Amino acid sequence: SKAKNKPKLNKNELTILVIGLDNAGKTTLTYALKGDTEIDTVPTVGFNAPVRIERQGKRLCFYDLGGGARIRGVWTKYFHEVHGVIYVVDAADPFRFAESRDELLKTVEHPMVVGKPILVLANKQDKPEAVPDDQLISELQLQSLTLSRHNVFQCIARPAENSYELDSRVSDGLNWLVKAIKSNLDNLHTRMQRDAEAFMEKEKERKSEVARRLAEKRENEQKQQSA
Amino acid sequence: MGLLSLLRKLKKSDKEARVLVLGLDNAGKTTILKALSEEDITHIMPTQGFNIKSIHKDGFKLNVWDVGGQKTIRPYWRNYFDNTDALVYVVDSADQARLEEVNIELTKLLTEEEKLAGVPLLVFANKQDLLSALSAADISVGLDLHSIKDRAWQIQACSAKKADGLQEGMEWLIKTVQERESEKK
Ligand SMILES: Nc1nc2c(ncn2[C@@H]2O[C@H](COP(=O)(O)OP(=O)(O)OP(=O)(O)O)[C@@H](O)[C@H]2O)c(=O)[nH]1
Ligand SMILES: Nc1nc2c(ncn2[C@@H]2O[C@H](COP(=O)(O)OP(=O)(O)OP(=O)(O)O)[C@@H](O)[C@H]2O)c(=O)[nH]1
Ligand SMILES: [Mg+2]
Ligand SMILES: [Mg+2]
């Protein structure tokens, strides 16, 4: 029946997507959030096990994805099921600001993200090359984003550079994000339910298209063999 | 960097890790294992039962189990599930026609097997040296890896033949097992 196939939405948990270019500091950040202040990371080419913490009486669940050019395509597969986004930028790597801006704008404008709260973290502030906020804001064209739905916080995600503590600015940013999500939760849930259904429908179509192409290919191979 | 130096990096408290290597027949599981331990890879036969490689270092032990992937052997995979710390799934990236079969087998493993719940998954997109190989990104879409939400997963392009990408994959695996251990404490 139709009802049985409906994706179920977990309303007790807020899901937050952590994305940004490779090397931005996403895995370091999510490890720090769950209290791991010592581990060194390796590049993520996939999905790290969700990190769960409590904030403002809500359970938060973080999805940390790989940011490398070859795996970035997978980000969109998660958009329908997240309440908000943390976008991490290496503020000390100006050579990659343009690339980072392009990915951010693509994300913000995606139909399953548009209007959802986005927290931009200008990371690696411990590095002397980190650019000032106004420069980052203009290079990433953040001024064009609606203020009530987006906010920028500077931070040091790597606890080793911050007396082995979670940067309080990360907490401040997170508090802003959770508040922004909570202020519009009912509408958000209605929309997420709709988006999840649309997503599943699209996935189904993609799969039957693949199956169709595969069958076609097999048929051609058989024809060639018998010819 | 060899496997031994990767192992050296593991915390002493994490005494042992059990790694299970699965995948369809001909994917390259045994070749990967041999390449990782820098053994000759020129005469490898299909695995009828299983191979195991144990590596000891500083009181630490990494047990890697490589089980045959032929259809008739797959029902026995479950005999190896107990106490698995990490799952390595090897895919022949050049065998597009069997990607759907891989998807079905992998989905079965990840959704039906209680004993593998939460176990981190490393997918080796093997045989990247072949011209017809699909990219790791394409394999990840083909296998619906994005639908996995209950465990860490990573896809690593590799060629066992050229010993490319194997170390990177193992490095992720060890980090992730280590991270999971520290969480349990
Ligand atoms: N100096 C400094 N280094 C940091 C900071 N945050 C992260 N790093 C380092 O940046 C590198 C990349 O960090 P990761 O957390 O692995 O980056 P990522 O965004 O997860 O990268 P991908 O998984 O490839 O997408 C690591 O060497 C971190 O130690 C920071 O605040 N300051
Ligand atoms: N070109 C190429 N061939 C490979 C590569 N890895 C393995 N092979 C070949 O693929 C074939 C199967 O390799 P195996 O290692 O026996 O595969 P397996 O997954 O252990 O197979 P079963 O034991 O039957 O489950 C062999 O002929 C290998 O030489 C690779 O990276 N590139
Ligand atoms: Mg990462
Ligand atoms: Mg074998």
The pair of three-digit structure tokens given for residue B182, joined into one six-digit string: 């520290």
Confidence of residue A15 (pLDDT cuts 50, 70, 90): very high
Q: How far is CA A212 from the centre of its chain?
A: 32
Amino acid symbol at A73: G
> Half-sphere exposure of residue A186, counting CA atoms within 13 Å on the CB side?
0
- pLDDT bin (cut points 50, 70, 90) of residue B133 is very high
A175: Cβ–Cβ under 8 A, 6 or more apart, which residues?
A: A55, A56
Average pLDDT, chain A: 91
Query: How many CB atoms within 10 Å of residue A81?
Result: 19
Q: CB neighbours (10 Å) of residue A151?
A: 18
Looking at mean pLDDT, say which of A84-88, B99-103, B147-151 comes out highest: A84-88
Decide: helix, strand or coil at residue A121.
strand
Rounded to 10 degrees, the C-alpha dihedral A150/A81/B104/A214 comes to -70
B156 contacts in chain A (CB < 8 Å): 45
Residue of A nearest to B139 (CA): A71
Give pLDDT tens digits for A185-195.
999 999 999 99
Query: What's the CA gap between B99 and B117, in Å, rounded?
Result: 23
Query: Which residues of B45-161 form beta strands (DSSP E)?
Result: 50-57, 60-67, 86-92, 121-126, 153-157
Q: What tokens appear for A15 in the block?
A: 């899901």
d(CA B97, CA B101) in angstroms, rounded, equals: 8
Q: Is this prediction's ipTM beyond 0.90?
A: no
Ligand 1 environment, Cβ below 6 A: A 20, 22-28, 41, 43-44, 66-68, 88, 123-124, 126-127, 156-158, 161
How big, in percent rounded to 5, are the helix, strand and coil portions of chain B?
Answer: 40, 25, 40
Consecutive H or E run containing A13: strand A13-19
Mean predicted confidence (pLDDT) in A147-158: 90
- CA gap B175, B179 in Å, rounded: 6
* E runs forming strands in B24-147: 50-57, 60-67, 86-92, 121-126
Ligand 1 pocket test: pick from A39, A41, A124 the residue with the most ligand atoms within 8 Å of its Cβ. Answer: A41
A9 or A17: whose pLDDT is higher?
A: A17
Q: Is B123 helix (H, G, I), strand (E, B) or coil?
A: strand
Percent of the residues in chain B that have a pLDDT greater than 90, as a whole number: 69
- pLDDT value of residue A2: 42
For residue B57, what pLDDT is reported? 42
- Which residue in this structure is represented by tokens 């503020």? A91
Q: How far apart are CA B88 and CA B65, in angstroms?
A: 10
Give the nearest partner residue to A77 out of B146, B153, B171, using CB atoms: B146
pLDDT of residue A67: 97
What's the pLDDT tens digit per position in A66-111?
A: 999 999 999 999 999 999 999 999 999 999 999 999 999 999 999 9
pTM of the model: 0.90
What average pLDDT does the segment B165-178 reach? 89
Q: How confident is the model at residue A3 (pLDDT cuts 50, 70, 90)?
A: very low
Banded model confidence at residue A4, pLDDT cuts 50, 70, 90? very low
